[in-house]
Amino acid sequence: MTDTLRVALVQHACGDTPSTNLDRSLAGIADAAADGAQLVVLQELHRTRYLCQHEDPALFDLAEPIPGPSTQALAEAARHHGVVVVGSLFEARAPGLYHNTAVVLDSDGRLAGRYRKMHIPDDPGYYEKFYFTPGDLGFEPVETAVGRLGVLVCWDQWFPEGARLMALAGADLLLYPTAIGWDPRDDEAEKQRQREAWITIQRSHAIANGLPVLSCNRVGHEPDPSGASPGIDFWGSSFVAGPQGELLAQATPSKEQVLMADIDRKRSQSVRRIWPFLRDRRIDDYRDLLRRFRD
């Protein structure tokens, strides 16, 4: 491996037609590869609009098996361009059993691994528990030609435990395909508080674990098909942070963009030597972390 890893995040809007959305992702992979990317990360559920704004059994028809048609398309792109690709799909595992799943295609097109989203939200506009079963593959990095990828998904990004477990399992990078945005009814101050919290929590994972973080979000307005809400304005702002939380690159909140960044592979080792958080963990006294709450 080279000392520098060139990475790309493909941030785009999604419309009603899955094939068109997938084509946007594939075009982003091609553009990133042409600019020298070795690793390309796509946003959460990039093949469809964000389907969890309401509960509709008919939307399960959008799910597909893994491997399946979208996995194959991503695999062909990875092989053709010689890049590692991280995609995010609505996985149909069995009748009545579906997951929010990230797939990792190695640079030779091989399905190197997958991660099933572990933390599943159930909030206004984000009714994911209706659609997705919590993951059962644990927090295991995926070995690829560019290193061990600690792939997590969206809501996982708010929980330090997932990032830590990926780091303890030897991840070289933390990756977060994401779909998050504003309720248009919120005032500007509240919108900015939410966005800054989202950025800050992920930068903190970089700092606490001494690892780069790549977070890829979508952009654009997506209406609520039920009409119960005004929909979601996805805030983009995809970014790459270094192992001290430093921002290496950040995309616009409102436009489609293939965000490029160069990561120094040696910095994690250097940072961990002067900030030895893993050394100083008190693993002998963390038992209460296994409790829901201390009453």
Model pLDDT for residues 94-153, shown as the tens digit of each residue? 999 999 999 999 999 999 999 999 999 999 999 999 999 999 999 999 999 999 999 999
Task: Give percent of the chain with pLDDT exceeding 70.
Answer: 100
Instruction: Flag whether pLDDT at 181 surpasses 90.
Output: yes
295: confidence class by pLDDT, cuts 50, 70, 90: confident
Rounded to whole angstroms, the Cα distance separating 182 from 49 reads 15
Residue 170 pLDDT: 98
Checking DSSP bridges between strand 142-144 and strand 239-241, what pairing results, if any? Answer: unpaired
1: confidence class by pLDDT, cuts 50, 70, 90: confident
- Is 117 considered catalytic here? yes
Cβ–Cβ < 8 Å for 215, 236: no
List, in sequence order, every residue forming a beta bridge with 97; answer none if it has no partner: 94
Residue 16 pLDDT: 95
Q: Look-up: residue for tokens 């000392």? A: 3
Task: Give percent of the chain with pLDDT exceeding 90.
Answer: 99
- Is 154 considered catalytic here? yes
Average pLDDT across the chain, whole number: 97
Instruction: Flag whether pLDDT at 8 surpasses 90.
Output: yes
43: confidence class by pLDDT, cuts 50, 70, 90: very high
Which string of DSSP letters, residue by residue, matches 114-152? EEE-----EETTEEGGGT-PPP-S-S--EEETTEEEEE-
pLDDT digits (tens, 9 = 90+) for 20-38: 999 999 999 999 999 999 9
Amino acid letter at 250?
Q
Q: Which residue out of 14, 91, 117, 128 is catalytically annotated? A: 117
- Is 246 considered catalytic here? no
Q: Which residue out of 14, 44, 91, 128 is catalytically annotated? A: 44
Main-chain dihedrals φ then ψ at residue 211, nearest 5 degrees: -130, 150
DSSP 254: S
Mean per-residue pLDDT, 281-295:
94
Mean per-residue pLDDT, 61-87:
98
93: confidence class by pLDDT, cuts 50, 70, 90: very high
Q: Look-up: residue for tokens 């030897």? A: 170
Q: Where are the domains of the chain?
A: 13-281
Cβ–Cβ < 8 Å for 7, 242: no
| Domain 13-281 fold | Nitrilase/N-carbamoyl-D-aminoacid amidohydrolase (3.60.110)
Q: Which residue out of 52, 91, 128, 154 is catalytically annotated? A: 154
43: left (phi over 0), alpha (psi -120 to 50) or beta: beta
Rounded to whole angstroms, the Cα distance separating 51 from 125 reads 9
pTM metric for this prediction: 0.96
Cα of first residue to Cα of last residue in the chain, in angstroms, is 50
Please report, for the chain, how many H helices and E strands are present, in that order: 5, 17
257-264, strands of its sheet edge to edge: 111-116, 97-105, 84-94, 39-42, 4-11, 257-264
